[in-house]
Protein backbone atom coordinates (compact mmCIF):
# COMPACT_ATOMS: atom_id res chain seq x y z
CA UNK A 1 0.00 0.00 0.00
CA UNK A 2 1.40 3.41 -0.96
CA UNK A 3 1.15 6.51 1.16
CA UNK A 4 2.90 8.74 -1.36
CA UNK A 5 1.66 12.27 -1.78
CA UNK A 6 1.29 12.89 -5.49
CA UNK A 7 3.09 16.17 -6.14
CA UNK A 8 6.80 16.68 -6.75
CA UNK A 9 6.30 20.39 -7.48
CA UNK A 10 8.78 22.29 -5.33
CA UNK A 11 6.61 25.40 -5.80
CA UNK A 12 3.59 23.68 -4.22
CA UNK A 13 2.36 25.38 -1.02
CA UNK A 14 0.06 24.04 1.67
CA UNK A 15 -0.37 24.38 5.42
CA UNK A 16 -0.83 22.23 8.51
CA UNK A 17 -1.38 22.66 12.21
CA UNK A 18 1.48 20.23 12.83
CA UNK A 19 4.20 18.74 10.61
CA UNK A 20 5.55 15.43 11.93
CA UNK A 21 8.98 14.40 10.62
CA UNK A 22 9.42 10.63 10.61
CA UNK A 23 7.00 7.79 9.76
CA UNK A 24 8.01 5.37 12.47
CA UNK A 25 5.92 4.41 15.47
CA UNK A 26 6.62 7.62 17.40
CA UNK A 27 5.80 9.96 14.53
CA UNK A 28 2.82 8.03 13.21
CA UNK A 29 1.16 7.53 16.59
CA UNK A 30 1.66 11.24 17.32
CA UNK A 31 0.01 12.06 13.99
CA UNK A 32 -2.83 9.61 14.67
CA UNK A 33 -3.72 11.10 18.05
CA UNK A 34 -3.40 14.65 16.69
CA UNK A 35 -5.80 13.64 13.92
CA UNK A 36 -8.25 12.32 16.53
CA UNK A 37 -7.91 15.69 18.27
CA UNK A 38 -9.05 17.44 15.10
CA UNK A 39 -5.69 18.79 13.95
CA UNK A 40 -4.51 19.11 10.34
CA UNK A 41 -1.35 16.99 10.19
CA UNK A 42 1.22 16.17 7.51
CA UNK A 43 3.77 13.41 8.15
CA UNK A 44 7.04 13.66 6.21
CA UNK A 45 9.23 10.59 5.65
CA UNK A 46 12.48 10.46 3.70
CA UNK A 47 12.04 6.78 2.72
CA UNK A 48 8.96 4.65 3.39
CA UNK A 49 6.55 4.04 6.25
CA UNK A 50 8.35 2.01 8.91
CA UNK A 51 11.64 2.02 7.00
CA UNK A 52 13.74 2.80 10.10
CA UNK A 53 13.96 1.07 13.47
CA UNK A 54 10.17 0.76 13.75
CA UNK A 55 9.99 -1.67 10.84
CA UNK A 56 13.12 -3.73 11.58
CA UNK A 57 13.38 -4.93 15.16
CA UNK A 58 12.62 -7.81 17.52
CA UNK A 59 8.94 -6.76 17.53
CA UNK A 60 8.53 -6.72 21.31
CA UNK A 61 5.83 -5.06 23.37
CA UNK A 62 8.09 -5.37 26.39
CA UNK A 63 7.57 -3.89 29.84
CA UNK A 64 10.06 -5.85 31.95
CA UNK A 65 13.15 -3.67 31.51
CA UNK A 66 11.69 -0.29 30.53
CA UNK A 67 12.81 2.58 32.71
CA UNK A 68 10.63 3.80 35.55
CA UNK A 69 10.07 7.10 33.75
CA UNK A 70 8.57 5.52 30.59
CA UNK A 71 6.42 2.88 32.32
CA UNK A 72 3.25 5.02 32.03
CA UNK A 73 3.78 5.20 28.26
CA UNK A 74 4.40 1.46 28.03
CA UNK A 75 1.27 0.59 30.00
CA UNK A 76 -0.76 2.89 27.76
CA UNK A 77 0.71 1.20 24.67
CA UNK A 78 0.11 -2.32 25.98
CA UNK A 79 -3.51 -1.53 26.75
CA UNK A 80 -3.95 0.11 23.33
CA UNK A 81 -2.69 -3.05 21.61
CA UNK A 82 -5.38 -5.17 23.24
CA UNK A 83 -8.00 -3.39 21.10
CA UNK A 84 -5.86 -2.01 18.30
CA UNK A 85 -7.61 -3.82 15.45
CA UNK A 86 -10.99 -2.38 16.45
CA UNK A 87 -9.45 1.06 17.09
CA UNK A 88 -7.41 1.67 13.94
CA UNK A 89 -8.96 -0.98 11.70
CA UNK A 90 -5.78 -3.01 11.21
CA UNK A 91 -4.65 -6.44 12.42
CA UNK A 92 -1.07 -6.02 13.68
CA UNK A 93 -0.68 -9.63 14.93
CA UNK A 94 -0.44 -8.63 18.59
CA UNK A 95 0.38 -11.58 20.86
CA UNK A 96 0.25 -11.04 24.64
CA UNK A 97 2.38 -14.14 25.20
CA UNK A 98 4.37 -13.13 28.29
CA UNK A 99 8.11 -12.70 28.56
CA UNK A 100 11.14 -14.03 30.42
CA UNK A 101 14.54 -12.74 31.41
CA UNK A 102 16.36 -16.05 31.81
CA UNK A 103 19.37 -16.82 33.99
CA UNK A 104 22.20 -19.17 33.08
CA UNK A 105 23.86 -19.21 36.50
CA UNK A 106 23.04 -18.81 40.18
CA UNK A 107 24.82 -15.48 40.09
CA UNK A 108 22.41 -14.27 37.40
CA UNK A 109 19.44 -15.63 39.38
CA UNK A 110 20.57 -13.63 42.42
CA UNK A 111 20.97 -10.52 40.30
CA UNK A 112 17.52 -10.96 38.74
CA UNK A 113 15.89 -11.44 42.14
CA UNK A 114 17.23 -8.05 43.26
CA UNK A 115 16.29 -6.53 39.91
CA UNK A 116 12.76 -7.90 40.29
CA UNK A 117 12.42 -6.21 43.68
CA UNK A 118 13.53 -2.90 42.17
CA UNK A 119 10.96 -3.29 39.39
CA UNK A 120 8.22 -3.61 42.00
CA UNK A 121 9.36 -0.33 43.52
CA UNK A 122 9.36 1.22 40.05
CA UNK A 123 5.69 0.35 39.59
CA UNK A 124 5.82 -3.01 37.80
CA UNK A 125 4.34 -5.50 40.31
CA UNK A 126 3.44 -8.03 37.60
CA UNK A 127 7.04 -9.23 37.15
CA UNK A 128 8.07 -12.17 39.36
CA UNK A 129 10.69 -14.88 39.71
CA UNK A 130 10.36 -18.42 38.33
CA UNK A 131 12.65 -21.18 39.64
CA UNK A 132 14.45 -23.76 37.53
CA UNK A 133 12.03 -26.66 38.05
CA UNK A 134 8.93 -24.58 37.39
CA UNK A 135 10.53 -22.90 34.37
CA UNK A 136 11.27 -26.20 32.62
CA UNK A 137 7.80 -27.55 33.46
CA UNK A 138 6.25 -24.51 31.80
CA UNK A 139 8.59 -24.13 28.84
CA UNK A 140 10.02 -26.61 26.37
CA UNK A 141 13.04 -26.24 24.14
CA UNK A 142 15.46 -24.58 26.57
CA UNK A 143 18.81 -26.04 27.56
CA UNK A 144 18.77 -27.79 30.97
CA UNK A 145 21.40 -25.36 32.24
CA UNK A 146 18.86 -22.49 32.23
CA UNK A 147 18.18 -21.73 35.90
CA UNK A 148 14.86 -19.89 35.55
CA UNK A 149 14.47 -16.13 35.74
CA UNK A 150 11.83 -13.42 35.74
CA UNK A 151 8.42 -13.66 34.10
CA UNK A 152 6.03 -10.86 33.17
CA UNK A 153 2.58 -11.82 31.81
CA UNK A 154 2.14 -8.39 30.19
CA UNK A 155 5.06 -8.77 27.78
CA UNK A 156 4.36 -9.76 24.18
CA UNK A 157 5.12 -9.15 20.54
CA UNK A 158 3.62 -7.61 17.44
CA UNK A 159 4.27 -7.32 13.70
CA UNK A 160 6.02 -3.96 13.83
CA UNK A 161 5.77 -3.10 10.13
CA UNK A 162 2.01 -3.75 10.28
CA UNK A 163 1.79 -1.39 13.27
CA UNK A 164 3.39 1.37 11.20
CA UNK A 165 1.29 0.67 8.11
CA UNK A 166 -1.84 0.51 10.26
CA UNK A 167 -1.22 3.87 11.89
CA UNK A 168 -0.35 5.47 8.54
CA UNK A 169 -3.58 4.13 7.07
CA UNK A 170 -5.54 5.45 10.05
CA UNK A 171 -3.97 8.91 9.69
CA UNK A 172 -5.10 9.02 6.07
CA UNK A 173 -8.55 7.70 6.93
CA UNK A 174 -8.89 10.62 9.35
CA UNK A 175 -8.27 13.06 6.50
CA UNK A 176 -4.57 13.78 6.95
CA UNK A 177 -1.50 13.12 4.82
CA UNK A 178 1.64 10.99 4.87
CA UNK A 179 4.31 12.08 2.38
CA UNK A 180 6.93 9.39 1.76
CA UNK A 181 10.14 9.75 -0.26
CA UNK A 182 10.26 13.37 0.88
CA UNK A 183 13.48 15.28 1.53
CA UNK A 184 13.39 18.17 3.98
CA UNK A 185 15.68 20.95 2.84
CA UNK A 186 14.90 23.64 5.43
CA UNK A 187 12.84 24.56 8.47
CA UNK A 188 12.39 28.31 8.29
CA UNK A 189 11.83 30.39 11.39
CA UNK A 190 10.09 33.71 11.82
CA UNK A 191 12.05 35.28 14.62
CA UNK A 192 12.44 32.38 17.04
CA UNK A 193 9.25 30.59 15.97
CA UNK A 194 8.74 27.74 13.52
CA UNK A 195 7.20 29.17 10.36
CA UNK A 196 7.46 26.69 7.48
CA UNK A 197 9.00 23.42 6.33
CA UNK A 198 10.58 23.31 2.87
CA UNK A 199 10.74 19.97 1.03
CA UNK A 200 11.38 18.65 -2.47
CA UNK A 201 7.59 18.35 -2.74
CA UNK A 202 6.75 21.86 -1.76
CA UNK A 203 6.54 24.13 1.27
CA UNK A 204 4.28 23.64 4.28
CA UNK A 205 3.25 26.61 6.39
CA UNK A 206 3.04 25.52 10.04
CA UNK A 207 3.60 26.74 13.59
CA UNK A 208 4.60 23.32 14.94
CA UNK A 209 7.16 20.70 13.87
CA UNK A 210 7.58 17.37 15.67
CA UNK A 211 11.06 15.89 15.25
CA UNK A 212 10.35 12.15 15.28
CA UNK A 213 13.19 11.26 12.92
CA UNK A 214 14.67 8.55 15.15
CA UNK A 215 18.37 7.99 14.60
CA UNK A 216 18.39 10.94 12.18
CA UNK A 217 16.83 13.38 14.68
CA UNK A 218 20.17 15.13 15.09
CA UNK A 219 20.18 15.99 11.37
CA UNK A 220 16.73 17.57 11.66
CA UNK A 221 17.84 19.47 14.75
CA UNK A 222 20.67 21.07 12.78
CA UNK A 223 18.09 22.72 10.50
CA UNK A 224 17.10 24.95 13.44
CA UNK A 225 20.55 25.02 15.09
CA UNK A 226 19.54 22.60 17.84
CA UNK A 227 22.03 19.99 19.07
CA UNK A 228 20.17 16.69 19.59
CA UNK A 229 22.17 14.22 21.73
CA UNK A 230 21.02 11.07 19.98
CA UNK A 231 23.10 8.63 17.96
CA UNK A 232 22.45 5.47 15.89
CA UNK A 233 22.92 2.08 17.56
CA UNK A 234 23.01 -0.84 15.14
CA UNK A 235 21.13 -4.04 15.99
CA UNK A 236 21.55 -7.25 13.98
CA UNK A 237 18.85 -9.95 14.02
CA UNK A 238 18.43 -13.31 12.26
CA UNK A 239 15.15 -14.41 10.66
CA UNK A 240 14.35 -18.12 10.28
CA UNK A 241 12.12 -19.94 7.86
CA UNK A 242 8.55 -20.41 9.16
CA UNK A 243 8.38 -23.28 11.65
CA UNK A 244 5.59 -24.91 13.63
CA UNK A 245 4.63 -23.16 16.89
CA UNK A 246 7.64 -23.57 19.15
CA UNK A 247 8.07 -21.41 22.25
CA UNK A 248 5.18 -19.00 22.78
CA UNK A 249 6.91 -16.25 24.70
CA UNK A 250 9.47 -13.52 24.16
CA UNK A 251 12.68 -13.91 26.08
CA UNK A 252 16.12 -12.48 26.67
CA UNK A 253 19.01 -13.49 28.90
CA UNK A 254 20.29 -11.74 31.98
CA UNK A 255 23.40 -10.90 29.96
CA UNK A 256 21.28 -8.84 27.58
CA UNK A 257 19.87 -6.92 30.53
CA UNK A 258 23.34 -6.31 31.93
CA UNK A 259 24.48 -5.03 28.53
CA UNK A 260 21.48 -2.69 28.46
CA UNK A 261 22.31 -1.34 31.90
CA UNK A 262 25.89 -0.65 30.77
CA UNK A 263 25.05 0.78 27.34
CA UNK A 264 26.42 4.25 28.10
CA UNK A 265 29.83 2.72 28.86
CA UNK A 266 29.68 0.75 25.60
CA UNK A 267 28.90 3.92 23.66
CA UNK A 268 31.85 5.67 25.27
CA UNK A 269 34.12 2.73 24.41
CA UNK A 270 32.90 2.88 20.81
CA UNK A 271 33.82 6.56 20.67
CA UNK A 272 37.32 5.59 21.81
CA UNK A 273 37.52 2.77 19.24
CA UNK A 274 37.66 0.10 21.94
CA UNK A 275 34.25 -1.59 21.68
CA UNK A 276 33.33 -4.87 20.00
CA UNK A 277 29.86 -6.29 19.37
CA UNK A 278 28.93 -9.30 21.49
CA UNK A 279 25.97 -11.56 20.83
CA UNK A 280 23.18 -11.88 23.39
CA UNK A 281 20.11 -14.09 23.37
CA UNK A 282 16.75 -12.69 22.20
CA UNK A 283 13.83 -14.85 20.98
CA UNK A 284 10.50 -14.10 19.27
CA UNK A 285 8.18 -16.21 17.12
CA UNK A 286 5.95 -14.31 14.74
CA UNK A 287 2.38 -15.25 13.80
CA UNK A 288 3.46 -16.73 10.45
CA UNK A 289 6.03 -18.94 12.20
CA UNK A 290 9.27 -17.09 11.52
CA UNK A 291 11.68 -16.86 14.45
CA UNK A 292 13.41 -13.55 15.14
CA UNK A 293 16.69 -14.45 16.81
CA UNK A 294 19.27 -12.11 18.18
CA UNK A 295 21.14 -10.18 18.63
CA UNK A 296 24.22 -8.01 18.44
CA UNK A 297 24.25 -4.29 19.13
CA UNK A 298 27.10 -1.93 18.29
CA UNK A 299 27.93 1.67 17.47
CA UNK A 300 29.22 1.96 13.91
CA UNK A 301 27.71 5.21 12.72
CA UNK A 302 25.26 4.68 9.86
CA UNK A 303 26.84 1.47 8.55
CA UNK A 304 23.79 -0.75 7.98
CA UNK A 305 25.70 -3.69 6.53
CA UNK A 306 25.49 -7.11 8.19
CA UNK A 307 28.98 -8.46 8.73
CA UNK A 308 29.43 -12.24 8.76
CA UNK A 309 30.82 -12.43 12.29
CA UNK A 310 27.67 -11.08 13.95
CA UNK A 311 25.25 -13.72 12.54
CA UNK A 312 27.73 -16.47 13.45
CA UNK A 313 27.92 -15.22 17.01
CA UNK A 314 24.11 -14.98 17.25
CA UNK A 315 23.70 -18.53 15.92
CA UNK A 316 26.02 -19.87 18.63
CA UNK A 317 24.14 -18.07 21.40
CA UNK A 318 20.79 -19.36 20.13
CA UNK A 319 22.13 -22.91 19.91
CA UNK A 320 23.40 -22.75 23.48
CA UNK A 321 20.02 -21.64 24.89
CA UNK A 322 17.65 -23.41 22.45
CA UNK A 323 19.57 -26.51 21.25
CA UNK A 324 16.51 -27.86 19.40
CA UNK A 325 16.73 -24.97 16.94
CA UNK A 326 20.33 -25.95 16.21
CA UNK A 327 19.76 -29.72 16.22
CA UNK A 328 16.73 -29.54 13.92
CA UNK A 329 18.79 -27.39 11.56
CA UNK A 330 16.22 -24.62 11.29
CA UNK A 331 17.17 -22.56 8.24
CA UNK A 332 18.04 -18.90 8.60
CA UNK A 333 16.63 -17.11 5.55
CA UNK A 334 18.06 -13.64 6.15
CA UNK A 335 19.68 -11.27 8.58
CA UNK A 336 18.95 -7.60 8.95
CA UNK A 337 20.49 -4.64 10.70
CA UNK A 338 18.90 -1.33 11.57
CA UNK A 339 19.49 1.63 13.83
CA UNK A 340 17.90 2.50 17.14
CA UNK A 341 18.07 6.10 18.37
CA UNK A 342 20.30 5.84 21.44
CA UNK A 343 20.45 8.32 24.31
CA UNK A 344 22.96 8.28 27.16
CA UNK A 345 20.34 7.78 29.90
CA UNK A 346 18.17 5.28 27.99
CA UNK A 347 15.18 7.63 28.02
CA UNK A 348 13.44 9.50 25.18
CA UNK A 349 13.90 13.13 24.25
CA UNK A 350 10.46 14.73 24.26
CA UNK A 351 8.79 18.09 24.47
CA UNK A 352 9.58 21.69 23.53
CA UNK A 353 13.06 23.00 22.75
CA UNK A 354 13.98 26.23 24.52
CA UNK A 355 14.74 29.01 22.07
CA UNK A 356 12.81 27.55 19.12
CA UNK A 357 9.09 27.95 19.70
CA UNK A 358 7.03 25.25 18.02
CA UNK A 359 9.91 22.75 17.59
CA UNK A 360 8.95 19.61 19.54
CA UNK A 361 11.23 16.65 20.18
CA UNK A 362 9.97 13.06 19.89
CA UNK A 363 12.90 10.65 19.58
CA UNK A 364 15.23 8.36 21.53
CA UNK A 365 13.12 5.29 22.21
CA UNK A 366 16.32 3.22 22.52
CA UNK A 367 14.98 0.07 20.85
CA UNK A 368 11.69 0.17 22.76
CA UNK A 369 9.54 1.75 20.07
CA UNK A 370 6.79 -0.87 19.87
CA UNK A 371 6.36 -0.72 23.64
CA UNK A 372 6.90 2.98 24.36
CA UNK A 373 5.87 4.62 21.09
CA UNK A 374 2.07 4.68 21.27
CA UNK A 375 1.97 6.12 24.79
CA UNK A 376 4.75 8.57 23.98
CA UNK A 377 2.97 9.55 20.76
CA UNK A 378 -0.27 10.16 22.66
CA UNK A 379 1.59 12.37 25.12
CA UNK A 380 3.37 14.31 22.37
CA UNK A 381 0.07 14.88 20.59
CA UNK A 382 -1.47 16.19 23.81
CA UNK A 383 1.39 18.63 24.25
CA UNK A 384 1.15 19.89 20.65
CA UNK A 385 -2.61 20.31 20.87
CA UNK A 386 -3.08 21.58 24.44
CA UNK A 387 0.37 22.33 25.93
CA UNK A 388 -0.66 19.98 28.75
CA UNK A 389 -0.17 16.23 29.13
CA UNK A 390 -1.71 13.45 31.18
CA UNK A 391 1.68 11.77 31.73
CA UNK A 392 4.74 13.66 32.87
CA UNK A 393 6.91 14.96 30.05
CA UNK A 394 9.47 16.97 32.03
CA UNK A 395 11.58 13.84 32.64
CA UNK A 396 12.46 13.86 28.95
CA UNK A 397 13.52 17.47 28.45
CA UNK A 398 16.35 17.93 25.96
CA UNK A 399 18.35 19.97 28.48
CA UNK A 400 18.42 17.38 31.27
CA UNK A 401 21.93 16.69 32.55
CA UNK A 402 21.76 12.91 32.14
CA UNK A 403 21.64 13.27 28.34
CA UNK A 404 24.93 15.10 28.22
CA UNK A 405 27.12 13.38 30.81
> Domains plus CATH for the chain?
13-67+160-229+346-403 (3.50.50.60), 99-153+231-342 (3.30.9.10)
The candidate with the shortest Cα–Cα distance to 264, out of 112, 395, 366, is: 366
Pairing of strands 41-44, 99-103: unpaired
Using CA atoms, how far residue 208 sits from 23, 188, 384, in Å, is: 17, 11, 8
What pLDDT sits at residue 277? Answer: 65
What pLDDT sits at residue 302? Answer: 94
Q: Within 13 Å, how many C-alpha atoms sit on residue 87's CB side?
A: 15
Per the CB < 8 A criterion, the answer to whether 199 and 209 are in contact is no
Q: Can you give the pTM of this predicted structure? A: 0.95
Encode burial over 272-308: b for 16+ CB neighbours within 10 A, e otherwise: eeebebebbbbbbbbbeebbbbbbbbbbbeeeeebee
- Give the CA radius of gyration of the chain: 21
The stretches in the chain having pLDDT less than 50 are 1-3
- Return the H-helix or E-strand segment holding 204: strand 202-205
Residues 6+ apart with CB under 8 A from 319: 325, 326
What pLDDT sits at residue 145? Answer: 97
Distance CA 124, CA 301 (A): 34
Amino acid sequence: MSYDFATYDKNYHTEADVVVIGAGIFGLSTAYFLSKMGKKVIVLEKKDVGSGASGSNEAWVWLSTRTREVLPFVRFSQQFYTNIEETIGYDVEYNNCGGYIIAESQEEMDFLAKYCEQRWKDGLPEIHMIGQEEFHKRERGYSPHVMGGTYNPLDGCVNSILVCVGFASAVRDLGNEVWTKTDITAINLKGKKVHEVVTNRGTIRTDCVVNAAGSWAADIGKLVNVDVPCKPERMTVLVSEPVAPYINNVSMTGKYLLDELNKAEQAAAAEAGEAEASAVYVYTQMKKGNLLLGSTEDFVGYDRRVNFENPKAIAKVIGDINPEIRDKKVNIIRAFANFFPFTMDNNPIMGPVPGVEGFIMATGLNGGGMAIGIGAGYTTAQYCAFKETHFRIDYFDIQRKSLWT
